[in-house]
Structure 1
Amino acid sequence: MVSSISSRVYLGFGLLILIMLGSSWYSISSNTQVTERMESIANHSTPLITNSAQLTIDFLNINRSLSPYLNARYVDELEPFKANIDSNIERYQNQLSLFQVPASNDTDIAQHLAVIEEHSQQVLNSVSALLDTYSQYIDITDYSLFEQSSFQAMTSQLSTNFTRALSSNDQLGSSGAINAAMSQVNLAADEAREAFTLFDSGELRGIQRRLEARQERMQEALIELERAAPRVHSQSSVALNQLLAHIYGDEGALKLHIESVRLRELQQEQRAELELLIDQQLTAIEDLSQYASTASTSLYQASHQQSKTTLTTLLVVSGLSVLIAAFIGTVIARTIHRASRLVNEALDNVAAKDLSNRIDYPRQDEFGMVARKVNLVTDHLSQVIEQLGQSSSMLDKASLDNQNTSEALSTAIGEQASQTTLVATAMEQIECSVAEIAQSANDTLTTVTTAVNQSDSGQNMMHENADLLKKLANDLEQATSTIHLVEKESSSIESILDVISGISDQTNLLALNAAIEAARAGEQGRGFSVVADEVRVLAAKTTDSTKEIQGKIEQLQASAHTAVTQIHYCANQMTHCVDQTDGMAELLNQLHGLLGQIEGRSHQIASATSEHQSVASQVTENVSQIHQLADQNAQRSQTLAENSKQLELMAETQLALTSEFKLESKQLATTIAN
């Protein structure tokens, strides 16, 4: 159990120092964790979000570059478009490779990346199949149109031959065969022409079945024609064979048209499948971006919670430190005040010549030792005063005989009074030293108050640190809004691509109608120029839509740049937060300096104690002089020995009583007697 007041003071301030060091360590540790989380957001989550957005743009560029390829009309035009598609695919794959390093450090990112790579492979395979199908479609369509033109020429030639044969034939039997053959040829040609105008596989299969059913009757009619009108059959045999080849042959105009329609429908199916795969891929990329955003939000929330916890803990520790300091100061002040009040009251009673009271202070500390010494001195003085009172009554009878001798002793007593004055002056110096000790204690209390104020300054700086972190949170929210803006701008590209697709479909229909019209009318067709003008108008619309897509892409790039700038600003704010932490460390150094001042005040108290010892030495010298004067008075008192043996006995008794006390006690006794 600590009983010394100085030990209690040292113990209290040591406890405060430990609390402050602990709170400082906790604050630095918490700030380090928050800084690490913010660095993780800046170095991992934000680049992941940015790369995801760029990956989406590169992926959409692949889809966008398909439109020029699928709108081309000739095979020779496909090569530069194919090179552009391959270039976009290469950029997309390069952008996708940037996720390999984050994926090697994060299993969740690796899972998302595996899904994206799987969908990417499916999309690229679908794109490759679509490009091959469209290339075949263009090639077969061109060949089909050429064969259809040949078919039209063959039918015209056969119609002319049959009509000429009927006009020059006079035999009724051969006319019937010619009419039957011409009828079958015209019916088959009409159904073939109808098939050329259709672009639905189901309808084409129906016409194909009708033509197959008509094939037998046509063969019979041609056999009958060969039998009844061999000359007509011979003149038309080449055209008839070509007609049959166009209608029933594997490489005829009808088969080529059916294959063209099949490839067209296959292309549409592949396009629809590609759109579905594109949506799935965009969803997978969005999931990766959402994961990065969620991770960033989680780190921010953890940092925010850590800051709040740190602030709360520091507030609690600061409050606890204030309470402990107030408790220590109050206990020490009350102890010193009560003890000093009891000692002052006892000394006042002694100064008033009242020796009936004692100091009631049972504590085993510095003031307890002083109280016991004062009580012991008071007891000794009481005994001396009591015995001196008895001796005084006995000396009263001999005072008349010693009057003359007393006059001689008055001079010596005056000198004793002077020495007693010196003793009083020394006592005043002791009182001044005690006052200096009290002032040092007050200065110590003021220093402790200053230390508490410095702790409040540290608390204010921690508030500023929390405000900076809140501002950083707002900046990160703005960065998230910017990324969302990038997503909205990316979504608007799809609507523009739909417009381009619609325009392309209309262009295809107009081009096909122009080809059919040209095939039917030959060189004299005038509708082709009107259709060509309409195609140019639609091409102009396609160009405008392409420019609008370019503008949207530039907006996406500007938004991404804004997001990067805001993230850099957040990093600067974190640097300022670290500077605030350094300021907190400087305040702790100042607090350490104040505690050093407390140690200096303690040295002043020790110095004042040394002054007490010096004054006590002076008191010893003064009492020694009083003793010399007493010897002189003893020599003078020898002249009174003859008057009374009893007076000599009393003098010896008083000398014996005086020699029992120390010099300080004799000085106090002399002061009380005066």
Structure 2
Amino acid sequence: MISLFPGRSRRDCHADPRVGRSGGREETNVRSLSMRSSLLASAAVALLAALAVGAVGIVRTNTTADRAEAIYSEALVPLATLKDIQQLIWHGRWAGLSNLTATDPEKAKAYGAEATEHYDLVTTRVQEYSALTVSAGERAAMDTFQGTWTTYLDLRKQSSALKNAGKIAEWEQFRSTTLNPATTKAIEELDGLVTLSQAHATSSAAEARSAADTAKLTIGVVLAVGVLLAGLFALLVGRTLNRRLNALREVVSAMADGDLTEREPDTAANEIGEMSRSVHRAAGQLRVTMQTLAGMSTGLSDRSTELQQASRSLTGSTDQASSRVGAIDAAAGEVSAGVQAVASGAEEMGAAIREIAVSATEAAQVAAGAVETAAKAEQMMRKLDASSAEIDSVVKAITAIAEQTNLLALNATIEAARAGETGKGFAVVAGEVKDLAQETAKATEEISRRTEVIQHDTRTAVEAIAGIGEVIEKINDYQNTIASAVEQQSATTNGMTHDLNRAAGGTSEISGQLAEVVQVTTATRDAAQAAETTATELADISGRLNTMVAVFRY
């Protein structure tokens, strides 16, 4: 069996990458997929890649969101709280200084209340900060600041009590030696805590930025892998479909070029495999059709050759029959001339008998002349009988020819029926030949019948002439009975004349029938020539059909 891939042997097919050890199973699985399944599989791979990218993006986005919330709650909120505490402390100190420098007691009292309010808010913010989630270092630094701040608030109360008690010298000394250092210490500890919180916020932001970069990288890698897998699968599907469609295209192109040789179809259970098997089935049916046409064309050529030979043979037979009919016509002419001569002799014999009645003395001479004339008439009648026998032989030959023509026409009709649609015209010609043969047979039967009549008449004439001879001889013996003999001879000659006239009419009719036979044989020859022409046309059609079929290779 010829391979589906032209120019490649079975060993090459076995070495084909589709069935090799590397990747063969995957491509075989792809070949077994339908077109719809292949497209859906390609879309599924792309969809899976998109889902993977989306899932990784969602996970990384959630992680980034968690990191942002953590930065907000663990870095930005504590740092903002510390900044608020710094602002409150500075506002409280400013109000405290304003309280010390104010000359108006009401303003001094208001500044003092404002400073107390700010410091109370500092205490509240410190408590809020303690409730936040911060690092251990920040938690320890806040605890230290909270202790220092509590100490500062106690010292501030003591300073206010000294001032309110009017102990200005002690108050100033307490402020410079105790309260101010405590304030400075608290501010420094708070600044250190702010610095630590800022460092934590910077570190958290850097981690978030690193996590975002990692998420971008992960998404890019997953996207690249998904696109690569989708591309590889699409390439595999496309290469498989392209190879199989190219193989199918080669088969169709070969069929278009007339190559119908058997090839191996695609055995995959999908649309392309089904198309390949359908194309190979169509090629097989066309191959069988071409083989059948080639056989029929050869048979038609052989039958047309045989028909040409039969037509030539029929033409020769009709020509021979025509020549024989011509000979018969000539013989019939001779018979007619003989009959007319006999009639003339009979008339002369009647005249002689009448002369016998007039002159008895001339009876012997007349009798001698009558004997001689009767002898000649008998010879002519015998010739006429022989010619009739020859006509009968010719009629039998024509009958045999007609039977042979009828047999040839029957064979031609059978061959035309075998030829089918292209032999209908020849079947009509063969039918006409058969009809002409049958008409020829009928004409020859009529000729035979009329020849038998002529033979019967000639035999009668021979017998009559023999009787004339006997009568003439009796004339010599019976001179006394001349009168009665004359009457008898007169009656006899009258009957003979009548019979001879009938014989002459019969020979004329034979000539007419022979003319009809000539026409029939001429028509038969024309039909045979038409059959030969038809056979030539059939041979030409067969040659053209052979030329058309020879274009295909099967």
Per the TM superposition, whether the score is higher than 0.5 is: no
TM-score computed with the length of structure 2 as normaliser: 0.44
The higher radius of gyration belongs to 2
